[in-house]
Chains A and B, each alone.
Chain A
Amino acid sequence: MTDRFTATARLMAEVCGLPAYPFAVVPHPISSNTDAELREKAAEAMRQCAAILQSR
């Protein structure tokens, strides 16, 4: 998600009984980004996702 939505994500995680659920966060916004910006954010997001999916 983008960094403007972390509070909501935290709330939903608590509602689902997983208060420590980890997320990948990139700078806001997405909808007005250029393709180069999307590529950069995707790289950062996949770096975070890889770490989350493989962490103990």
Chain B
Amino acid sequence: MLSVVALRSRRLEVADELEANELYQRSGWTDGLPIVAPTEARVAACLEAADMAADEVLGTEPVRHLLLTAEKVAVNAVMAGCLPAYFPVVAAAVQAMCEEPFLLHGATASTGGSAPVLIVNGPIRRALGMNATDNALANGSRANATIGRAVRLVLVNLLACVPGGLDRSTLGHPGKFTFCLAEDEEGSPWVPLAEERGIPRGASAVTVVACAPPRQVMNEWTTDPAEILETFAAEMRANMLGYSIWSGNYVLVIPKQLRDLIVAAGWQKQEIREYVHRAARVRRSDWHRVGKGRVAGGEDTEFAALGSPEDLLVVAAGGPAGGFGMVVPPWFGSKSRAVTRAIGLCLEC
């Protein structure tokens, strides 16, 4: 059992749990929703569950050279409502966000208002009761909700990403409260996302992507996979013209009804990627149609949503009925790249 003496955070004395929440709200240490009081025992339990020392450095925010320790991340995970068993996922997500390709400072401080979306793979999903089916991108699972929320509290409290301060988001989006989903590996014959991105089969992992708000599509009127994916590609083209034309890591979430049709036609994730890579393209002159004629001048270049097919992250998730899909665009082109990190496993050892 980790000694609470090893924890180095400043101690605060409060009358009770409700007073703790009021103090933290007044201090600007929350996302506006009530928090769970981070007692020494609760924080120690998280560290124990991840087998981490309190002073283990999970990552460094490179611009301001801030160290993110396991203890401090655990304090915020407890506040978010995480059970100790969830903490290894939170820790891996923070480690992933501190890897250089994610561009932590830019992705979290920009006026573009991005949220980190977490996609979880592997056995840990079942162990924690994570939801990969009905309402997959929203509420219902304690693990999904609190793991995603823990990441936001880490950004607020450890990286000073406070709205109006270092968080310059003009609007932000609801994913900034929490945005964590699990892949429906049991309901899909496709290779899981993490395995495609280099994590050994059987290991658990989390992929983080700095994302713009998700955009829902619908096509219940065809069995042709090309037509289904054309609908996704059309939404990506709309995003390119309406929001940002730059290529980057898009995430497509494909629930069971559409997935079954795509699978029946023999398409794997690679066929999906190749189709969308070809189809999700616009021309500079298209900007005239969306009120951006003033910057449409010059050569009528073609822009692709994806630099390569591999830039598309395809995730099987969602409830059993409904011909819906979700396009999750990148925060801003390829400034921030998706990062996948194994959970609780040292791959280099």
Contacts and interface: CB of A to CB of B under 8 A. Distances in A.
A12 interface: yes
Interface string A1-28: 0000101100110010000000000000
Interface residues of B, number: 7
B198 interface: no
Interface of chain A: mostly helix, strand, loop or mixed: helix
A11 B64 contact: no
A8 B164 CA distance: 7
Contacts of A11: 160, 165-166
A12 B166 contact: yes
Contacts of B168: 5, 8
A8 B165 contact: yes
Interface of chain B: mostly helix, strand, loop or mixed: loop
A18 B164 CA distance: 20
Contacts of A12: 166
A7 B165 contact: yes
Contacts of B165: 7-8, 11
Contacts of B166: 8, 11-12
Contacts of A8: 109, 165-166, 168
Contacts of A7: 164-165
A2 to B, nearest CB: 11
A29 B247 CA distance: 26
Contacts of B160: 11, 15
A18 to B, nearest CB: 13
Nearest to B66: A15
Nearest to B164: A7
A8 to B, nearest CB: 6
Contacts of B164: 7
Nearest to A5: B168
B244 to A, nearest CB: 14
A12 B165 CA distance: 9
A12 B164 CA distance: 12
A7 B160 CA distance: 13
Interface in B149-191: 160, 164-166, 168
Nearest to A31: B295
A55 B160 CA distance: 31
13 contacts: A5-B168, A7-B164, A7-B165, A8-B109, A8-B165, A8-B166, A8-B168, A11-B160, A11-B165, A11-B166, A12-B166, A15-B64, A15-B160
Which 9 pairs between the two chains have the least Cβ-Cβ distance?
A: A11-B165, A11-B166, A15-B64, A7-B164, A8-B168, A8-B166, A7-B165, A8-B165, A11-B160
Given A7-B164, A8-B165, A15-B160, 10 more contacts: A5-B168, A7-B165, A8-B109, A8-B166, A8-B168, A11-B160, A11-B165, A11-B166, A12-B166, A15-B64
